[in-house]
Structure 1
């Protein structure tokens, strides 16, 4: 049996059946450089999904690698938050400043799921309430509490949760009752619905609204700019906190704001982050108003949160993003790709929608079979992409923020060629 087939069989024998693998013939990535990776069979790919938006700068970035190597050379891989960690303090200071949240403090975790759990705890404690607001089609993690605020049945295993959650409209413009509405009219309808939920379904105080500025698993669906500012006016009337889940939208990826929520002109009470900040190293966290963060009376820590190696990687990654103005690069390269996809969509019957901001964009297809076929076609042509959407019919992409003009053009050509090939079958 070939080694690749043997590895696949071994994977299936010991890994859960609910952990999916991309492609009919899954690949093993063994090396990478810049925006490109190579599989175990020697085939190269331009990577437009970057480990699910995690390898934000691409692969083998000298500044990140050298920062990690310097930390490893000290012999200190881990100490725990029981000790001072200089790199942790350095990174927290940068994030607090960039967040725009007044008197901000930062708590580090190892993942976005853990970050969201922390934010939900802070909100529930501050408001003495187990009631939350969340968005339909949302995804906030795999843990028990995070699943409770996830509005996507494909990612929710149980009907019960430690939280009592009410789900709002805001990223579901495709529904027939909203067809033809302008952004202004849609925002007004959503705000009236929020008020109705608070007047009917909610019982007493509600702790917080948690929302992704652009929904990741939801297929990069998004609320029109300004919706969350309109929501926050209502939330403030009731003292309800606002948590912006920036796990996928942070660090300039949308091109229009350093954090996705900036597109709505509002400063949240808390933001959660993870994924791209470590450029592949495990890091997540919450940045919140100081009085919220300090309010908990019980002792708490995250064993690997603030880990010296991850902090070295995250500091180097964030510095690289700022020093090279990758937000501007995301805006420019994204405009090229999204514009090209929208132009091509008019002649490709299978395409239902093209959407995105910066280097976070998606193509919605007629059904999940078409989306799977486009993924396979892209792989055959040397491009890795992802999949999502409430019905699994969306091809979603998020290249490295370092993507060059030539790579953007190359990727765009492959996507269009793949869409046309699938459309012709």
Structure 2
């Protein structure tokens, strides 16, 4: 058998510890699959004395991840520190500079610096692999990059953040508000103390930038992604979605259009019978629409130590075998700069909830503003008034409109006019309806 592949693991959190443990526990099986032993020879973390349930007595310890990346007893560097800058970036750049392949789960780093890192790695002749950076244990990177090489992908979309999916699932099933559900998710460890990166949609945006690059042969463009989070979603919105035949999910959507690549992250309504709509809890799911295979759906754990470690180790085994495709499926020099499709050009159906002041002429004025922009209404549902006698005093009622396909720009103009007319109390709630 060939010489062992000596692995250095930078970052010993939940995922890093799982990587070390699984590599040790399954050493013989992995050696048979890889054609050579895979041995952890060095680790790096901030706290050396912490009990991680691992035997590290025969492993070199480095307080500095960059020092690990240049160590003579390391052939491959696994970066599991996280963050777009700082020690993580320095560790990866040092590894490349010293001719060491890199396996990483760092979506923020790759979304921001992926092209530069790909160029540097190609110049040095060493690969960067990142299966674990998107959708945890789901093999979505290999599917797009290798499994669908004969396909032209038109759209890739899905649930890419388990925290948001857990919160929306709990809100829907238990009829509780966002703040209460978020606090519960934090107690259970599904949400961070500062949850903004997750619930604001930014984590999903970083992952979507990588999927779009793989799907369309473009450079990752996280700055070009339209992003909305889930904090504005209410139990009433979820109830209305159920009544109308939909479920609400935070989706990352990348679509090839005539105007360019449309990338967006926002709450969406999906038909209840669709595969993605049925995915609950912390599970992730991705659908790929391609010309040869049609629609392909992958679903599974999007986070967690063992699931993410599974993806990390799959990359390590590939490198041990000598399987080293270009990072984004194409050499860095052949990735195109993406043409951003303006969000205003997006076309589809919409759910709109208005808190309408109950007075004569309000409904007619709203319908007129919609008609002025050529927006046709599929359905109108009112909530909040039990009988005609309840209309006294002009208290607001909840009115839900479902539109036929229209453009984002036209709808925004209509809603601005409705607000200016003074017939609604507060800002409109808008949720896009995603096909299938």
Query: One fold, TM greater than 0.5?
Result: no
Q: Please say which structure displays the higher CA radius of gyration.
A: 2
By percentage of residues, which structure has more strand?
2
